[in-house]
A and B are shown apart, each in its own frame.
Chain A
């Protein structure tokens, strides 16, 4: 589906719209019911794990993306596939922020909460600001479900929700009623109540509906009755909004035409963008991609996605364990593929020894770590940035590995290409540190021109590269390129270059086993120098007003930090902002940037891992601001913390 959105020529989005701006109301009243115009809305769908909230959120997101709003999403679900029904731990939610302007986060607090049961209400009510709309499924507010979550009295009746604009809707009853023609069992019919809710919200926000109907028909292509029942529930929800007096107004959020540069857009999640980035890297390097992986949340979707694209010559190997996943990827790299392994923190721990081997073998390899809450199993479905030091130092011996971190879901595409560039140019394993928030969150993405993607082609060794004293021409696997310090990549099948490599220390140049102390010292320093010497772009600082305080972040905190900075600037504060994409090596100018400010604040979703590195390397008093609750920072909270730092 393609919709045309035109934006006034020459008008870019340099004038930033403050995120804290109150919804603007424009009474147009074009239909029977009043339509108010808003500049942005945050909706949260919340229900039981089995209620289909993620699907509902995804569909609303697709409708919103195709309408041309800017958007940002935050799925939030338990690690249990089906936690006990109706309980607090079983609540699954999906938050979507959409606007007529450029936005950066899924939003702090929802303007609308859809609560499918008492547990969903109880788990989410603390996040809902006074005056917000709450749509509740009254059918679930009976004695037992309420008792399960500790409501002695119905919150719908005891006055505790007086500060909110509550819309009681018997969603289950209405859905069953709407589907009575279909001859479904009560249980089957009830399942469509999420589509009823989606229909109602689609009416409330004037979303296009064709996409969802098409989606339902293709999803249930083999069960046409179920498909039509879902479509009917979806339409019933829409009609309910239009006809019921409880919903007096609907809202319009205009396309974010001015927020976007010219181009063709789609909505994309971080893991999908990363998967496409890997396929693109293979194409740009003219090498087959080989993914060795073991399923782990929240990284498995990359394995699923890449396994669908075998027609790009992509091989995916679901190994017996994490170690075999990276082993196979490294074996494929030895054979001349672009070897990739995907995992999360616990998997990285298991792969550490093989990463060390890759450092020693000096072969290209991509290690994709979709970070989640730790330590140990931790919080599998929640986000965290606490693997930075593991990626940096989590190996025996001096084993430096470059690290690249994407900043937004769509940026995962570019980060994958950048990680591949470093791996191939410098013949080294490279870490890509994404996280659960980027992986599952989504945003609009301007689809790049394939011709404009970077050229990642690299040369395999084809002949001897060294002459012995007696004039014999030989191949030395560890004779380096003097500029990059990369060693030649000689793949099996190349005549005359037969050689043996391994994890034992090797003689500089010849690559033969060597236990010579001076040689080991030289090789350790050379491997470090190779990584330190990797060319990475300088750090750009956004500092329009000559601030004295710098906020420096890395990875997925980009959205909340930037939103907080906008708020502060809109309130008249001066603050500089910079965001690191390369964590190893750091940009050359980083020390200079840090020394240019009186105060440096480093917000991280860990206990201060980047700030530790900065303090150690640059001797600067980097202040840490941290949060490890499994959720991204909220812009408001960060703005407050940064304001305190400015005023301190």
Chain B
């Protein structure tokens, strides 16, 4: 198994210094004014030069939905494909071209409804893909129906009496699907968003980044509680690997493990319980604690929403394994000879 860095080294480096401008395509950006997607686009374009990868070796693949217009605005290779299928197309590209840095841009409907199957299988395979899941908890492009991440009882055009189905928690789902890297961030926090993108880019294998993104037309203010300075203090839990999980005004709250159930809970920090405050370990081979962290958030109020890297562990990468098998086959049988193959072992000759 080649190590992580070796895998990432397969993508050629850029010659010369790049700037954000290099990653802007000549296409006019056509999201609604005030859409959270603008902030994410700016953050990605601003962050790309940091990677220093040859622009022609970067590809963005998307499905269908507002966020899936993203590739048109990136001056890299790109494909705007069909609804839900971006992970499968990106899998074919990434597994056949290990010299590419492949990014998938998707939304809550694209990734979790119509494309749910492809997402979970990409995660379990651990293909070298970076998946940016823009979650606005609503269908935007079809003008405002509830999505698989909408809260129960949501009144929308298709659910005038309220939606009936329980939502997915994308982070919990990804952890359950054997993901090796799972993170969550927020569109408006450029610094945090960039730090998470950096960590995702450094991860060999599939990285899932859930980005809470505001749809100011159909679901405005969905994440306001996480953005409003005052309320965010109580609502957001910023995870940092190796640090105690503290939040609230001056770290007045923390996360502890219940000795009886093993589950996590939020407590007011006291002298007595200070030592029991959990230290975040993103690299823990077991996903149990990451999963418990993902369940802390209240689906309705979003209180106690963890953001940051919940899980980042190393596991063999599918594309590398696939290439290794090709190499092994050549080692064992030599490079394929068509003539020998066609003849097989059982021939007869007709002579004139």
Q: Which residues of B contact A (CB under 8 A)?
A: 12, 25, 27, 54-59, 61, 71-72, 74-82, 85, 87-97, 99-100, 117-118, 121, 322, 325-326, 328-330, 332-336, 338-339, 341-352
Identify the stretch in A153-161, A353-361, A386-394 within 8 Å (CB) of chain B at 4 or more residues.
A353-361
Residues in B with CB closer than 8 Å to A327 are 81, 85, 88-89, 91-92, 118
A502 within 8 A of B: yes
Given A328-B92, A500-B72, residue A65 in contact with residue B338 (CB < 8 A): no
- Determine whether the beta carbon of B79 is less than 8 Å from that of A335: no
Residues in A with CB closer than 8 Å to B342 are 276, 280, 447-448, 450
The interface bits of chain A over 282-296 (1 if a CB of B lies within 8 angstroms of the residue's CB, else 0) are: 010000101010000
Nearest opposing residue in chain A for B325, CB measure? A310
A320 within 8 A of B: yes
Nearest opposing residue in chain B for A258, CB measure? B350
Nearest opposing residue in chain B for A321, CB measure? B117
- Determine whether the beta carbon of A335 is less than 8 Å from that of B117: no
Residues in A with CB closer than 8 Å to B56 are 492-498
A86 within 8 A of B: no
Q: How far is the CA of A327 from the CA of B332 in the complex (A)?
A: 31
Identify the stretch in A28-36, A93-101, A234-242, A260-268 within 8 Å (CB) of chain B at 4 or more residues.
A260-268
Residues in B with CB closer than 8 Å to A499 are 77-78
Residues in A with CB closer than 8 Å to B61 are 331
Given A280-B338, A311-B329, A332-B96, residue A2 in contact with residue B347 (CB < 8 A): yes
- Determine whether the beta carbon of A264 is less than 8 Å from that of B348: yes
Nearest opposing residue in chain A for B94, CB measure? A331
Q: How far is the CA of A181 from the CA of B351 in the complex (A)?
A: 45
12 inter-chain pairs at a CB distance below 8 angstroms, sorted by A residue, are: A65-B346, A267-B346, A288-B96, A311-B335, A317-B92, A317-B95, A331-B90, A334-B79, A335-B96, A357-B82, A493-B99, A513-B27
- Determine whether the beta carbon of A5 is less than 8 Å from that of B351: yes
Q: Which residues of A contact B (CB under 8 A)?
A: 1-7, 9-10, 62, 65-68, 211, 257, 260-267, 276, 279-280, 283, 288, 290, 292, 309-313, 315, 317, 319-321, 323-325, 327-337, 339, 353-354, 356-357, 361, 447-448, 450, 492-504, 512-513
- Determine whether the beta carbon of B81 is less than 8 Å from that of A309: no
In the complex, which of the residues A309, A356, A498 has the most CB atoms of chain B within 10 Å of its own CB atom?
Answer: A498
4 further contact pairs, Cβ within 8 A, besides A492-B97, A500-B72: A68-B348, A312-B335, A357-B82, A500-B71
Residues in A with CB closer than 8 Å to B343 are 264, 266, 447
Residues in A with CB closer than 8 Å to B92 are 290, 292, 317, 327-335, 337, 339
Q: How far is the CA of A354 from the CA of B88 in the complex (A)?
A: 11
Q: How far is the CA of A448 from the CA of B338 in the complex (A)?
A: 10
Tell me how far the C-beta of B129 lies from the nearest C-beta in chain A, rounded to whole angstroms: 11
Given A315-B326, A323-B85, residue A263 in contact with residue B93 (CB < 8 A): no
In the complex, which of the residues A7, A330, A339, A354 has the most CB atoms of chain B within 10 Å of its own CB atom?
Answer: A330
Q: How far is the CA of A40 from the CA of B57 in the complex (A)?
A: 61
Q: How far is the CA of A146 from the CA of B79 in the complex (A)?
A: 63
Tell me how far the C-beta of B12 lies from the nearest C-beta in chain A, rounded to whole angstroms: 8
Residues in A with CB closer than 8 Å to B85 are 323-324, 327, 353-354
Residues in A with CB closer than 8 Å to B345 are 1
Residues in B with CB closer than 8 Å to A503 are 80-82
- Determine whether the beta carbon of B350 is less than 8 Å from that of A68: yes
Given A310-B326, A327-B118, A498-B55, residue A262 in contact with residue B336 (CB < 8 A): no
